[in-house]
Structure 1
C-alpha cells in the first residue's frame, strides 16, 4: 500500500485508518484514490477485524479533489476532469464490483463487513464529504467546514453520494445543498442528518465508541450491518426473512453464549475468531 493511507491495528480488532497527505489537507490525487481503495481491500481480507475508525491526519479530514492534479473541462468525482488518465477518466466502467474507482473510495466502506466510524475535523469538501458519508457512524467537530462542492465546477456529485445520503437527510434540503454548493459547519451537518454526533474531540470519541463495539459478538455485529445495508432496497418480506436468517447464524453459538455469560458475570468477553 502507498503512504497515502495509514492503517494501525489497535487492541480488540480495531483498525485506526488515517488519510495521510497532510500538506494538501488530504486532498484526493491519483495516489490517494489508489491508497484508499487498497486500504479498503486490505481491510476486507483482514481476519479478526471488528471495527474501523476512519479519520484524516493533519488539519483536515479531506479537502476533496486536488485540482493541481486534475485540470481541464468536464468529468466527475468532484471538481474537474483530468487531461490524462486518472481515477475519474473512466466513469462508465465498474472496476470495483458495482462501483467505479471514484465511487469505491466512498462506497467501499459500506461493503466492509464491520462497522466503520468516521471522525472529521477541519474540512470535508466534495469527494471528501462523500467519503465521510460512507461510514456507518460519523463524528464531526462543530466547526468542520462541509460542502457538496461539485456544482461549483458545473458537475454533479458522483462518488456514491446519492446512495449514501439516501435516508440520511431530507430530499429538499439535499437538493438545495447540491444545487448551491453552500458551505455548512459540523453542527448543521448533524442537525441535517449527515453526521451522527458533534464532538470537540471527534477522533477520541470515535475510538471510544469503537472499543464499545469491539466488545460485542463479532458475527452478530456483521449480521446487523448486512441488515442495515439491505434496508434501502429490500422489501418488507425480504427483510423479515433476512432477520431470521441472520439470527439463525448466531443464536446458540459459542460466541453468542459467551456474550450472555460475560454480561451476566460483568467481565470483558473473550470471543473465538
Structure 2
C-alpha cells in the first residue's frame, strides 16, 4: 500500500478485516530511527486517522528487533556539535515536534494500538512502544530508556507515558541510569502488558477480538481513558523540547557521545551555578 509521505519503504502498511498491520521496515539497522523513518511513521499515523473502517492497529518491526532507537548517524552529528533540526520542527498541530509525534500519533488515533516487541526496544524504540495502548513482548526483548547514555533525556513523549505506567521512583531510576532490562522485568514493572513467544501473532489475535466489538464503544472507551491526562500533555511536551534542545550540542552532551564511540569513560564538567 502506497501512503503519501512514506519514503524509501521505511514503513509498511496493510489493512485487512479492520486491522491495520503497521511495520517498521529497516531490519538491517534493527529499525533504528532516521529522518525517513520518523517522517514515514507520522505519515502512516495521519493516513490511518482517515480510515474509518480500521478498528485496531498492530505496530511492530520487521526483522530481529522492534526498534533499537536513534540511528548512529544522528549521534555522530551530535558528537560533531550538530543539532536536531531534522526532527525538531513542530508538526502541523503545534503540540509535538516530529520525534514526539511518531509516538503520540498512536494516541491521537481513536482506535486501540497494540505494539508487538522483540529483539530491542531502546531509547526512541521504547518510547514508541509506550505510545501504544497495549504491549506484547517476547521475554528476551532488551529494553532501555537509553537517552542518558548519550547525554540527553527522553524527548519523545516518554516522560509522560512512562510516568503513567510505573511509580515515580522507578521511572526516575530507569531514566537516570539508562540501564538495559529484559521484557520479563518490564512486565513486572508494568511497562509490558503480556509476555509471549509470539508477540506479533498474539497482538493480531487481540486486534481481531477488538475489531469484533462495537467500534463506537471501543473508540469511546479510549477517549474516556485518555481524557484523564490530556490537559497536561501540551505543557509536558513543551518541557521535553525545552530540556532536549538545551542539551543537544552542549559540551557535556558531546562528551557523552564521543566517549561512547571512543569506548572510554566520559569526562564531564560540573554545572556552574549563576548567582
The answer to which structure has the higher helix fraction is 2
Q: 2:155 aligns with which of 158, 174, 181?
A: 158
Decide whether the 8 Å contact of 1:107 with 1:164 is kept in 2: no
Q: CA deviation at 1:185?
A: 0.2
Q: How far apart, CA to CA, are the structure 2 residues paired with 1:42 and 1:51?
A: 14
Equivalences, count? 226
Q: Does residue 1:6 correspond to 2:12, yes or no? A: yes
Residue of structure 2 in register with 1:222 after alignment: 219
Distance 1:85 1:233 in 2: 27
Aligned mates of 1:111, 1:81 — CA distance in 2: 34
The aligned residue for residue 169 of structure 2 is: 172
Specify which structure has the bigger relative contact order, considering alpha-carbon pairs within 8 angstroms and separated by 6 or more residues: 2
CA RMSD between the two structures: 1.9
Per-residue CA shift, 1:152-193, capped at 9, x if unaligned? 111110000011122211110110110000100001111101
- In the superposition, the TM-score normalised over structure 1's length comes to 0.79
Could you tell me which residue of structure 2 aligns to residue 31 of structure 1? 36
Give 1:132 deviation, angstroms.
0.3
The separation in 2 between residues aligned to 1:15 and 1:94, in whole angstroms, is 23
> What does residue range 45-194 of structure 1 map to in structure 2 within 5 Å?
45-73=50-78, 82=82, 85-88=85-88, 90=89, 93=90, 95-194=92-191
Q: CA deviation at 1:104?
A: 0.3
Where structure 2 has 5 or more consecutive residues not aligned to the other structure, the ranges are: 1-5, 232-275
Structure 1 unaligned blocks of 5 or more:
75-79, 235-273
Residues of 1 paired with 2:85 and 2:230: CA distance? 34
Q: Under a length normalisation based on structure 2, what TM-score does the superposition of the two structures give?
A: 0.78
Q: CA–CA distance in 2 between the matches of 1:207 and 1:10? A: 11
Change (3 A) 1:155 1:84: closer
User: Which digits, 9 at most, give the CA deviation of each residue in 1:59-91, with x for residues without a partner?
Assistant: 1000000012443338xxxxx974574114x4x
Q: Would the aligned equivalents of 1:95 and 1:101 in 2 still touch at CA under 8 Å?
A: no
